Amino acid sequence: MGLKRFFLIFCMLAIFVFALVQCTQVKSKSNDSRGPAYAGSSTCVSCHKDLTESAVHNSHFNASKMLTKTNSADSLHIPDGEFIFNEQTKVQVKNRTDGLYQSAMINGTDRKTEHTDMVFGAGNSAYTFAYWYGKQLMQMPLNYLTKEHQWVNSPGFPDNQIYFGRPIISRCLECHSSFADKKLVQGANFSVTEEYVKNSVIAGIDCERCHGPAAQHVTFHQENPTVKKANYMVSYKKLALLRRIDVCGVCHSGTGIKTVSSTFSFKPGDTLKTLPEYSAYRGEDPDVHGKQKQLLEASKCYKIGKAECITCHDVHENKKPDLVVYSAKCISCHQDVKHETLKDKNKAMLAKNCIDCHMPVKESHAIGFQMSNSKEKVPYKLRTHRIAIYNDLIKGK
């Protein structure tokens, strides 16, 4: 009788322990679509409040946004508008109570209307828009230029007709979001399309996209709140120079990166040179759009001075420094430069503006915007990250 009672108690304890373990596992399981190794960037706030509150307003965090909730497009402050291909063919943009819409108008008749579900870009220069077509993300016909307050035809689209047919592939999301789970679907004639798991898309560049998975780090410091030294996280500052700029370069190297697996798997400490077909700098003049890493690699400030991305940029800051602040960073290393060839009337600007001469705004050869009611295409202009002496600018001074 005693043996049976002991066995019964042992079984009850075993069941209790098993249930406790299961409950604990469920409780600790991450809801992040990247998997249990990720904690979700919202967990960073408890220990890094100032950094996260600042970062959520900067360009990286706002590299893309989902606009699926009511009034979610209001913060973009985008006006209604119209783009004219010709008298018969127009695209109208309307803000409605449930979101932002683009409509194909042919001879005054609405032939196709789509709701904006996602926006790409932080709005410093432009916005690009997308809508869900089943499980595919499709680019919408028009972009919005924020500085010019103009609606323009999306780059690369036909210049004489409305186009709703360009899929936004995962390579776009790899630089404008933190994660998207995709599936390759084979169609007719051996065609392959990318479909996304809708709830898996993590818009914007969040903390763990740059710092790596943090679940173990968060768990350790929640259980050991007195430990101030970061555990289970890669120390960015301790990485070699090449590895540090590669963290930025995974997105700021243009579309030259072609990989077998997604760059979402890239983590701090990895190197881009291990990725198949990575386009390293080889002395060419890279396009100013997207290829900031190659442009920096072409600069003596990098080759000799070991200048890197964070030398000038604070990626956690929500305010963009002005030219005076950037120029002060230049002067901190170039205090003895005389600028003897510069005319006296222009020397007053030396302490306030190194940037316009040594990192001038240049036209992108990859992107141009077609204006409404015109065949004219205005090139996209960006500041080059090739820090150099530009003789053509000197002659103009």
Give which of 35, 39, 387 is closest to 221, Cα–Cα: 39
* Per-residue pLDDT tens digits for 342-360: 776 666 777 789 999 999 9
- Whether the pLDDT of residue 28 is over 50: the answer is no
Q: Which helix (H) or strand (E) holds 358?
A: helix 355-358
Classify 99 in phi/psi space as left (phi over 0), alpha (psi -120 to 50) or beta: left
Query: Band of the pLDDT at 31, cuts 50, 70, 90?
Result: confident
Longest distance between any two alpha carbons in the chain, whole Å: 106
Are the CB atoms for 78 and 367 separated by under 8 Å? no
Alpha-carbon torsion (331, 333, 335, 341), positive or negative: negative
Classify 336 in phi/psi space as left (phi over 0), alpha (psi -120 to 50) or beta: alpha
* Residue 171: HSE in the Cβ half-sphere, 13 Å Cα cutoff: 11
Where do the domains of the chain lie?
62-204, 281-397
Are the CB atoms for 54 and 317 separated by under 8 Å? yes
Say if strands 64-66 and 81-84 run parallel, antiparallel, or are unpaired. unpaired
- Whether the pLDDT of residue 5 is over 70: the answer is no
Q: Spell out the residues 6+ positions from residue 239 whose beta carbon is closer than 8 angstroms to its own.
A: 247, 268, 269
Q: How far apart are CA 160 and CA 84, in angstroms?
A: 10
Q: Helix, strand or coil for residue 3?
A: helix
* Per-residue pLDDT tens digits for 198-237: 999 999 999 999 999 999 999 999 999 999 999 999 999 8
